Amino acid sequence: MNQPPAEAPVPQQGPRPYDRQRYEELTQRLGRALLEVAPAGWRRIDLTVLLLAGVGDLRLTVIMPDGSSPAVDPPRECMPVAAELRSMMYRPDEGTWFGLRFMMDPPSAYWISFNGDFDPGWDPPVPPETWAGDLAVFPRADEHIPGWLRERLGQTAGAGGR
Q: What confidence tens digit (pLDDT) does each residue in 4-31 have?
A: 444 445 666 889 989 999 999 999 999 9
Q: Over 60: is that where the pLDDT of 56 sits?
A: yes
Query: What tens digit of pLDDT does each residue of 130-160 get?
Result: 999 999 999 999 999 999 999 999 875 554 5
Q: Domain spans of the chain?
A: 20-153
Distance between CA atoms of residues 132 and 89, nearest Å: 19
* Cβ-based burial of 39 (10 A; exposed 0-12, middle 13-18, buried ≥19): exposed
What element of type H or E holds 131? helix 128-137
CB 110 within 8 A of CB 51: no
Class (C level, CATH) for 20-153: alpha beta
Query: What tens digit of pLDDT does each residue of 87-113 get?
Result: 999 999 999 999 999 999 999 899 999
User: In Å, how far are 10, 41, 48, 79, 158 from 70, measured between CA atoms?
Assistant: 26, 12, 16, 21, 47
